[in-house]
Amino acid sequence: MSVLVGPDTRLLVQGLGRDGSFQSSRAREYGVNMVAGVHPGRGGQKFENAVPIFESASEAVDRTGANVGVIFVPAPFAADAIIEQVDAGLDLIVTITEHVPVLDMVKVLAYLEGKKTRLIGPNCPGIIQPSSRVKVGIIPANIVQEGRIGVVSRSGTLTYEAIAQLSQYGMGESTCVGIGGDPLHGTTFTDVLEMFENDPDTDAIVLIGEIGGTREQSAAEFIKTGVTKPVVAAIVGQTAPPGKRMGHAGAIVTGKAALASEKIDALRNAGAHVVNSPAYIGRQMRDLIG
């Protein structure tokens, strides 16, 4: 069973500048079926002499049957790109772009209501699924190995850290999902936890949260009643002083509920195994599932 992506993924990449082109090359090397690119002024050309490039997402979907889109366009244009891909009928959109204005995301989330499209991000590392050789985003493929641990995280770099630790202990990953660190984003912890719970190819889950907001508390509520699989969790920013922003736009302590201590207590009370440092994620998972 696939979580978000799988063997039937037909990838459209919007924004084939420096970063988009580099990551598209890495994704194709890994094995993803990239069927289209979208980049203004380059319609009719081919990416790496193989993948057709179109002027619009709708044309690309009509011509290639793309069903998953990834966005690398600059922040001022990211909202328009998301809406363009929604209108093109894509099932899943992964927005890697960071620094997308909050007001733009308010409009995007309102536009998504009632639509079939699921959004991951913005400001996220994307998705990787080793069993299907599908990479949508910027997660390094060389640290991933096929296994049965699902990973969901707000932090990009700590997603990589968790993956590397799991692989180091020989456990490997089923699917890894970076949901993004911005205050407003699409898919939530709870959404992905539900997918992992229902996925027969996932035996246990790693969750990496941050200070700021109450998303981890919502995840804890779902874990308490809706997750039967072991969950290893880590919360980043435990030493952040009140009112201090720590890296991500969403990682700011804005009240008691946003504190790391509150999130840790909620997750522990829900039955998750919370480690004191992300450095112990792999070891804790090894001890849980052998």
List residues with catalytic annotation.
248
Angle, CA of 132, 133 and 139, to the nearest 5°: 125
| Cα 270 to Cα 22: distance, rounded to the nearest angstrom | 41
For residues 158 and 277, the answer to whether their CB atoms sit within 8 Å is no
Residue written as token pair 């996220």: 124
> Alpha-carbon Rg of the chain, whole angstroms?
18
Starting from the edge strand earliest in sequence, which strands make up the sheet with 204-210, in order? Answer: 134-137, 126-129, 173-178, 146-153, 204-210, 231-236, 273-274
**Which residue is associated with the tokens 């002499």?**
49
Say which residues have a Cβ less than 8 Å from residue 265's Cβ, sequence separation at least 6. none
CA-closest candidate to residue 190, choices 219, 227, 162, 155: 219
Phi, psi of 174 (to 5 degrees): -85, -60
